[in-house]
Amino acid sequence: MKIHEGVQKRHQEMTNWRRLLHSQPELAFHEKWTSDFVADKLESFGLSIHRGFAGTGVVATLKNGEGPSIGLRADMDALPLMEKNRFEHRSQNEGKMHACGHDGHTTMLLGAAAELAESPNFRGTVHFIFQPAEEGGGGGNVMVREGLFEKFPVDAVYGMHNWPGMEPGEIGVLTGPVLAANDAFDLEILGKGGHAAMPDLSIDPILTASQAVVALQSLVSRSINPLEAAVVTVTQIHAGDAYNVIPDSVKLCGSIRTFKSEIRENVHAGMKRIAEGVAAGFGAKAELKIKQGYPATINSVEESRRAASAATKVIGKEKVILDALPSTGSEDFSYMLQARPGCYIWLGNGNRGGGCLLHNPHYDFNDEILPIGTSYWISLVEQELPLT
Ligand code: NI
């Protein structure tokens, strides 16, 4: 392990920042305190900053001579969750919690900015991008649409996320899809209500919906190449409120995850075909609405190789995990990767707090990995923007 010397000296200070951020969680697009904290720190490092992208977004620029330009991105928002931890730095904002480690991501990027501003051993330009609203609001997408990369041109953009279950000191670098596209659906089955005792005079939407739930499961098993991945999960069924009444309609809701756009399109089309076909078979009607969420997060080949190389310089070859499976979670860094080549890595967070995963009320970011992630950022900058 080769932790950057300057970063090691900042470990305690970064731990303090991280715990302070943890105690002050704010939700998507309302990261006002957090944004002020980030901006104040960046200015204290002597960096020029730009505020206002996607409301609370902050971008800091560090230019050291002529050379290439890269973007490094962290997310700042927390989750609507009641924290169950009792330690001193627990959430002070009831019902809000940094349960995904964005407090750690923000801290590591601040640490890298501090160290690079003090000892700029690179030639070129680094843009430090602090975005709001990763958890559902698509703050990354808003920044891109508002002209992030026109105002701050980059040759490539890089992101990272802590990863519980992966050991501290390990970094996962995947080439191609790393996280899934995330779509939600509402499916309404419209029948004809009536007396429970006289079903022949009704069109029973509950029986139709039951068949539809089962039939939808055939999409992944029968219509998608077995070597590809897709998930169709029905998470809600709403209908009826009496023992003796067949309701008029049933509402189903759920989630769709895919990695490739052609699979995504096939699943959407297949869901419509199955829902309408099953409903027609029972004399009912189906109305399917799909709300497209974040696209798949896809690392470009060359930048993944570069990210793995930068990680290797910090943690050694054997700790860089290249063969992990992608996750069916999702990320709005995907929009930045649609706009520019780049790579999103996983930073091992270990198994603290009983090994709880992200979005768990007992989760906490592991402060021991702050110097590892920060050293990775510096290693990447010094590799991509070499002095000579
Ligand atoms: Ni997250």
**Rounded (5°) CA angle 110-116-119:** 140
The token pair at 265 is 């399109």
Catalogue the E-assigned strands of 5-155: 48-51, 58-64, 69-75, 124-131
d(CA 229, CA 243): 40
pLDDT digits (tens, 9 = 90+) for 132-168: 999 989 999 999 999 999 999 999 999 999 999 999 9
Q: Compute, in angstroms, the gap from residue 133 CA to the centroid of ligand 1.
A: 10
CA distances from 277 to 212, 269, 273, 281 (A): 9, 12, 6, 6
Which CATH code fits 5-179+297-384? 3.40.630.10
* Short-list 138, 135, 154, CA closest to 59: 154
Is this model's pTM higher than 0.85 or not? yes
User: What value does the mean pLDDT take over residues 346-367?
Assistant: 87
Query: How much distance in Å is there from the Cα of 157 to the middle of ligand 1?
Result: 17
Mean pLDDT of 36-49: 98
Q: Which residue has the higher pLDDT, 31 or 355?
A: 31
Give residue 353's pLDDT: 61
Average pLDDT of the residues in 300-324: 98
Assess whether pLDDT exceeds 90 at residue 354: no
Q: How far is the CA of 165 from the centre of ligand 1 (A)?
A: 15
The alpha carbon of 262 and the centre of ligand 1 are apart by a number of angstroms equal to 26
Ligand 1 centroid–CA 186 distance in Å is 25
- One-letter amino acid at 375 equals S
Please check whether residue 169 is in contact with residue 372, taking contact to mean a CB–CB distance below 8 angstroms. yes
Q: What's the CA-to-centroid distance between 101 and ligand 1, angstroms? A: 6
Q: How confident is the model at residue 337 (pLDDT cuts 50, 70, 90)?
A: very high
Residue 370 contacts residue 6 (beta carbons within 8 Å) = no
| Cβ contacts of 302 within 8 Å, gap of 6 or more | 341
What is the CATH code of the structural domain delimited by 181-292?
Answer: 3.30.70.360
Whole-angstrom Cα distance, residue 230 to residue 290? 15
For the record, the structure tokens of 205 come out as 């939407």
Distance 100 CA to ligand 1 centre (A): 4
pLDDT at 287 over 70: yes
356 pLDDT tier (thresholds 50, 70, 90): confident
User: What pLDDT, on a 0 to 100 scale, did the predictor assign at position 62?
Assistant: 98
More confident residue, 352 or 309: 309
* 164 alpha carbon – ligand 1 mean position (Å): 11
Q: Is residue 230 very low, low, confident or very high in pLDDT (cuts 50, 70, 90)?
A: very high
Location of each CATH 3.30.70.360 domain in the chain: 181-292
Is the distance from CB of 4 to CB of 375 less than 8 angstroms? yes
Count other C-beta atoms under 10 Å from residue 18's C-beta: 26
User: How many Å lie between the centroid of ligand 1 and the Cα of residue 156?
Assistant: 21
pLDDT tens-digit series, residues 84-135: 999 999 999 999 999 999 999 999 999 999 999 999 999 999 999 999 999 9
SS3 content of the chain, % helix, strand, coil (to 5): 40, 25, 35
Ligand 1: distance of its center to the CA of 302 in Å? 24
Distance 55 CA to ligand 1 centre (A): 19
Between CA 354 and CA 271 the distance in angstroms is: 39
The Å distance, Cα 78 to ligand 1 centre, comes to 8
Q: In sequence order, which residues have a C-beta less than 8 Å from that of residue 281 and are 6 or more positions away?
A: 211
CA of 70 to the centre of ligand 1 (A): 22
**According to the model, what pLDDT value does residue 327 have?**
96
In degrees and rounded to multiples of 5, residue 332 shows phi and psi of -90, 5
pLDDT band at 355 (very low <50, low <70, confident <90, very high): low
Question: Stretch 52-58: mean pLDDT, rounded?
Answer: 97
What is the rounded average pLDDT of the residues 47-58? 97
Q: What per-residue confidence (pLDDT) applies to 180?
A: 98
Fill in the amino acid letter for 159: G
pLDDT band of 357, cuts 50, 70, 90: confident
Calculate how far, in angstroms, residue 290's C-alpha sits from the geometric centre of ligand 1.
24
CATH 3.40.630.10 boundaries in the chain: 5-179+297-384
Determine the distance separating the centroid of ligand 1 and the alpha carbon of 102, expressed in angstroms: 6
Neighbouring C-alpha atoms within 13 Å toward the C-beta of 361: 10
Residue 388 is predicted with a pLDDT of 77
